[in-house]
Amino acid sequence: MNPIFRQLYKHKKTRERDPNAPPAPTLLGQVKELKDIRGKTDAQAQYISHLENRLDVQDRKIRRMEQLLDQIINAINKRL
């Protein structure tokens, strides 16, 4: 074998691993975490949209009540 190729394909030494260290993260574990995070963010987005809808309903309700109150005040002022 050519000496240049030997240098290119030289076997790497394994480095010592601390036995007390936590295990290295795996791709499957990261995919699972991403799925969990995506599920949580989707749930949060759905909850936020629900709250926005409720807020819109309450705003419309308040506007209608204010208009009704203005009409009542105008009717009372006309009678006086």
58 in a domain, yes or no?
Answer: yes
Q: How far apart are CA 55 and CA 45, in angstroms?
A: 15
pTM for this one? 0.57
Tens digit of each residue's pLDDT (9 = 90 or more) over 7-43? 677 667 777 888 888 877 788 888 888 999 999 999 9
Beta-carbon-side half-sphere exposure of residue 6 (alpha carbons within 13 Å): 3
1 in a domain, yes or no?
Answer: no
62 in a domain, yes or no?
Answer: yes
Where do the DSSP E strands lie in 5-77?
none
Q: Which domain holds residue 58?
A: 41-80
14 in a domain, yes or no?
Answer: no
Q: Which of 67, 44, 48, 46 is nearest to 56 (CA)?
A: 48
Tens digit of each residue's pLDDT (9 = 90 or more) over 52-66? 999 999 999 999 999
